[in-house]
Chain A
Amino acid sequence: DGGITQSPKYLFRKEGQNVTLSCEQNLNHDAMYWYRQDPGQGLRLIYYSQIVNDFQKGDIAEGYSVSREKKESFPLTVTSAQKNPTAFYLCASSGTYTDTQYFGPGTRLTVL
């Protein structure tokens, strides 16, 4: 089945820890995105990537980092510099920047 997978589904982080969220797609899409969603709110863009080895900051990149070493993978690291990381994180991909976005099932991150 073609699609986007995110792991883990739930993640717990202690204060001061870095954690990495996985996002993999087998849709052969060039563009990939990371969004953050807080309760009752829409999505805010963290990072986006148009091609391998290239990515740009979104609206709320501070405290996050990404890499794009392979076309199918776009992992997100939430660093200790992110002061309020508890949220629902969604990964998406599209054929190109202007195509329909398809989303993964999300990772819920909680800081203990």
Chain B
Amino acid sequence: KQEVTQIPAALSVPEGENLVLNCSFTDSAIYNLQWFRQDPGKGLTSLLLIQSSQREQTSGRLNASLDKSSGRSTLYIAASQPGDSATYLCAVRLGTNAGKSTFGDGTTLTVKP
């Protein structure tokens, strides 16, 4: 059974700092991995999708990397802003059943002005 872990559960940084969020998974036979952002009481917003054949994806100040062999993905946020404050979740799709996604519990980020 695929397990997805996100550490730390919470992170607080001053504005302008570069930061890295971590996502670990136990089964490396993944199809793809997706990073989401969730604001309190809201639905999820897709940030980046990395296919299993890719090493990284970039969108603006965000860069996500994938290392299947070690079972890890990182989300790098450059020059953090207070508006980046939210919970960030990763979700992994297995290659054997791509319809099922397994989510981590998320990292709650607070960026202080």
Contacts and interface: CB of A to CB of B under 8 A. Distances in A.
Contact of A50 (B99, B103, B104): B99
Counting chain B residues whose Cβ lies within 8 A of the other chain, the interface size class is 20 to 34
B50 to A, nearest CB: 11
A56 B101 CA distance: 13
A41 B105 contact: yes
Contacts, number: 61
Residue in A31, A42, A90, A108 with the greatest tally of chain B CB atoms within 10 Å: A42
Given A40-B105, A43-B89, A103 B99 contact: no
Interface of B: 4, 6, 31-32, 34, 36, 41-46, 49, 89, 91, 93, 98-101, 103-106
Interface of A: 4, 6, 31, 33, 35, 40-45, 48, 50, 56, 58-59, 88, 90, 92, 97-106, 108
